[in-house]
Each structure stands twice: as structure tokens, then as C-alpha cells.
Structure 1
């Protein structure tokens, strides 16, 4: 028996019989691809779980470096006896050693109990659920608008690189991306809410509604209050989306497969839509999903500037006390939303590019 035959027999003994026909090869390839994808998904899920546990640990210790005493803050400087202070500390578990506070916090958080707010005397979970719809409405509408606008303009400016429209759009995007959102919000309030010179105030200075309407009138009232904060979030968000999409598409434009597609007689619009854009979407998909994570977190500064009754404003109120259970609960929700959105982006990557996860 030859050496080649012996090696082949040894491989057959170890690996078992191998179907050399087309169906066998296809089956092995398909099985290998599924196994690789499942391992990829398992790795991403494991990383997400570890990140969530890290968030729990960070949320507990991070806000305890705040120098202010929560009990003193709750009394608002009113005369309070030592006995009353000790009673409050015992009531909120602040008299326990740090390791006991930590174990109680983690065990409760893993069961969905985020504690009781110091200043509102209500469960943190209920407070978050009460404010969540307002944040989802404001930031959800903003994210959808600026994601679509940024992707569309980013594609067009990159495809016409160097044109007048490209220079104008890129310059405007760079300017808006460098502007602090809260400063832009204050500027819009001064110009379009308070009014300046010949420009009358056309929009409310803050809040979600005037509180004196119902039915369809209430919907219009809320939409009227949303105009300025939505413009603020869209102006900053679309600039980032445009610049990332433009840069990603410019990297793809010199690829050989686009030259081949044009050589086949495809129109320029078809080459852009069906070949260039799908391959340029990976970096942008990450950013879009991160922005979707901000839908839960909202924009703390923008909501505060416009007195929007959402999670961002609630976080600002909690941090000013400091209301440790509420701050920790909101931090976990904000970070958890980002982790989940990143996980979804990672799971969608193989659908956009089959090479990912293999």
C-alpha cells in the first residue's frame, strides 16, 4: 500500500466516511457555516451578559464617589437631629457596610427590583416606566429622521465627491457635529420661542404640552412642543450619520467590483444602490443601532433645556440630590439599552456581510 493510500485510510478512520459528491460537500459546508454562526452568536451573547454585569458593578460604585450625603440632601438643609439622621440611614440601608449594600443591590437588581427613590418615595422601576413614553416619543422620532436623512445625504455626497453640494453638505455637517446640543437648543429657544428682533416667538419654551387640550388638539399641541427639541437632536445626529456614511462609501468607491459592475453595463444609480451602498453599511449600521440605544437614554441635556418630562430630565433631577437608587437604576437602563442595541447590530452583521461570523 502506498503512503498516499495509508494517509487516506488514516484520515477515513479518524474523520469517518466522507461524502465526496456534491450533496455531501454542500451539506458539510452548510453545517460548518451554521456552527460558525452559532459560535459567533454565543460569543456575542456571552459578551453582552458580561457587559451587563459590569454595568451593575459600575453603577453601584460610580455614584458613591459623590461627596454629598444623600440623607442630608433629602432633608434639604432643614434642622435634623442625629437620631433622625440615623433613622433615615437605617431606613435606606446606608448604615450597612459597603459590601452588604453591594450584595443587596445586585441581588435585587437581578430580580428586577431597582430600589426605592429617596426623593419621590416610589419604586424606581415605576418612575422609569412613567417617564419612558415621553423619551421614546422625542428621541424615537428624532433618531428615525436623522438616520434616514444622514444615510441619504451621506450616500449622495460621497457619490458626487468634490462637487459643490458635497462641499456644502460636508461643511455644514462638520459644523453641526461640533456644536454642543444644549447650546443649539438654547439658541433655538432664544430665536424661535422667546423671539428676537423682528422674529416673533412661534414655539413653546419648554414642556410637552400646554395641558388645556384633548383628543386631536392634544396631539397637535404635543407636536408643537416637539418641534424645537426634535430640530436640535436631528441637527446634531444627522451630521454624524452623514459623515460616517460618506467616509464608508468613499472607501468602497475605488473597489474593483464596482468597475466590474459598470463594465457589465449597469447604470450608475444601480451600481450605487445594489453594490456600493450595501457594502458601505456596516460601520453605519453600528452607529444607527447605537443611536437607537439612545432612544431609551434620551438626551439628558436637551431634555433638561426644553423641560421635557422624560428620562433625561429625571436623571438630571436624581443626580442633583443625589438620589442613589434612581441614579443607579437609570444608569443601568441607559447602559443596558446600549448593550442590547450593540448586540442586535452584531447579530445583523452576518446578514449584510456573510464573511462576518465565519
Structure 2
């Protein structure tokens, strides 16, 4: 049933991508023509070349037919295959979102476990307040604040881009350090929002485990409180958080749109923003299917993972 639900969701995503971007304001022909004056005949020729002069039913049929050949078309602006444009930008997005996910998950799980174990303490109340604030803060606003403080005022980190415009010395390490320097602000900004989710969910899981009988037995054996938390409570409390990590592998690509746009990070998020301004319909269709599709697949895999990790779910299924 889960597999069939995921397949139906993917089909709906693919079909929705065709209609969604044809209601956007703006004419793609304007982007192709640019600032150069064009005659009505030239505009008609461009519209014919792009297939925009055909009835909607014909365009939809061509779209469905192209899916079976995995030919998503070419960009209206660059005339490059949209699959090539996406694959060129994918490593940059994986670098940003992967770094943010590793930081947020590792620090958030640790902080959430300690916060839940010390329920009622001043540190726990402060942790919850900070997490709720970060979770409710818009990513683009947090990014702009980070740019103003750490880039404009303090000058510690670059405000945008992935590499220095002036260039760096040849060699792996100079290039690596330059990219890492540009990565700090966008990665930490995105990680701050994800971190809040892990803290709150891990804290809730620990609170649910605190009163369990097996922990009472462990304490009765004379085990140290820290040992009881790390060796007994934490493994069971990790189940919902592990599922969240699996889901985030798909969701982080969607969230990268705002982060990459604010910091001009040259990944899929910025590419999506640039395409929607035109609108570059073939590129938008592919990116929408990729973003939504990875979320659907990640949710499906997370459900399977949870069933594998928790025998109680398998028995109740």
C-alpha cells in the first residue's frame, strides 16, 4: 500500500508540473527575445519553435510523450538541455544541504537529548525558547540578518557566491578553503532552522522515555544517570529522529531555494528562482518534479526504515 501510494503521488507530481507553471505571469518569449526589438513575425516564429503556439491538449500530449524518453526539453534561454543544467548545479546543492543536515542533526540530537533528560531546568527552558524561535523564523530573514552582521558589519565571511570573484591561487587546498569560507554562512543559516526541529523532536522523545520501567530498572542496578541516558534511553528515543533525518534528505532540496537565493549560492535553488522569473517552463517542470519527487521517495524510504528499526510497527502492520 505504501508503494502504491508513493507511485500515485509521483504520477500526480509529474502531471501537476505541466499545468502549474503555465498559469504564471509573464511570457517566455520575452525572455528569449530579450532587449532586442522583434517583429510580430519573429515572435510568432519563436513561439512556434518553443511549441507554445500549439493547443494545450497537444502540448500536454508532447509533455507526456517526452517523459517516456526522459527528454525534458531545452531551456528557453540558453538552449541547453534542462537535465544538463540540473546536473551541473546538483553538486553545489548537495554540498550546501548535506553540510547543513550533518551539522543540524548531530548537534540537534545531542542538545535535544540533554534538554529532555534535564526537563524543567533553566538550560532546558532556554533551549526550547531558542529552538522555537529558530523554527518559526523565516529562512530568508535569518539569512539576511547573518549577511548584515557577519559579512557587512564584521566582514568575517563573504555575502554571496561560492568562490571569490578575484580568484585564488591554483591548487586543491586554496580552492577548498575558498569554497569552505563561502559555505559557512549559508550552511549555518540553513542548519539553524533544521537544528530546531531535531532539538524539539528529540526532546519530546526523551520525555516519553523518561518514565519507562526499563529505565527504572537500570537506575536500580546502580548505573550512573549519564550511562542510563546514553545507553538505554537514547537508542529508543532515536527512532522518530532517525525517521526525520531520512525525510529531511528529500525535504532539504526544497528548503535550499530560499537559502541559495539569499546567498546567491549557485545550486538548484537559485536555478529554480532564476527560471521562475522568466518563466523557463521546461526547466521549472524538471526542477519541480525533482524537488517534489525526492520528498515523496524520502517519505517512502523513511516509512520502510522505521518499520525495520521498530519491531512494534512490523507486528502491528
**TM-score normalised per structure 1:** 0.82
Give a deviation string over 1:240-297, Cα, whole Å, max 9, x none: 1101111222123233343344345544334333443333333323321222113444
| Residue 209 of structure 2 is aligned to residue 255 of structure 1 | no
Match of 1:335 in 2: 292
Correspondent of 2:169 among 213, 216, 224: 213
Among 115, 118, 132, the alignment partner of 1:174 is 132
In structure 2, distance between residues paired with 1:143 and 1:83: 51
Correspondence 1:231 to 2:188: yes
User: 2:266 matched to which residue of 1?
Assistant: 309
CA contact (8 A) 2:91 2:267 kept: yes
Aligned residue for 1:244? 201
1:136·1:295 contact (CA, 8 Å) conserved in 2?
Answer: no
Q: Match of 2:312, SS?
A: coil
**Which of 29, 52, 67 in structure 2 is aligned with 1:109?**
67
1:137-286 to 2 correspondences below 5 Å: 137-195=95-153, 200-210=154-164, 211-215=167-171, 216-286=173-243
Question: Match for 1:57 among 15, 34, 47?
Answer: 15
- Matched with 1:24 is none
1:90 alignment partner in structure 2:
48
Q: Distance in 1 between matches of 2:84 and 2:169?
A: 26
CA deviation map 1:164-188 (0-9, x unaligned): 2111111111111121111111111
SS of alignment partner, residue 214 of structure 1: coil
Unaligned runs of 5+ in 1: 1-42
Shift of 1:327: 0.7
In the comparison of the two structures, how many residue pairs are matched? 312
Structure 2 regions of 5+ residues with no counterpart? none
User: Deviation string for 1:181-221 (max 9, x for gaps)?
Assistant: 111111111121112xxxx3121111111133332101011
Q: Deviations over 1:306-339 (max 9, x none)?
A: 1111111100000000000111111111111112
Shift of 1:356: 1.7
CA RMSD of aligned residues (A): 1.8
Cα distance in 1 for partners of 2:201, 2:311 equals 22
TM-score normalised per structure 2: 0.92
Aligned to 2:37: 79
CA shift for structure 1 position 77: 5.5
- Separation (CA, whole Å) in 2 of partners of 1:109 and 1:273: 49
Q: Per the alignment, in what secondary structure is the counterpart of residue 287 of structure 1? A: helix
User: Alignment partner for residue 256 of structure 2, among 299, 310, 313?
Assistant: 299
Q: Please tell me whether the aligned partners of residues 213 and 221 of structure 1 are also in contact (alpha carbons under 8 angstroms).
A: no
Structure 2 Cα separation of the partners of residues 341 and 87 of structure 1: 43
Q: How far apart, in 1, do the equivalents of 2:311 and 2:6 lie? A: 22
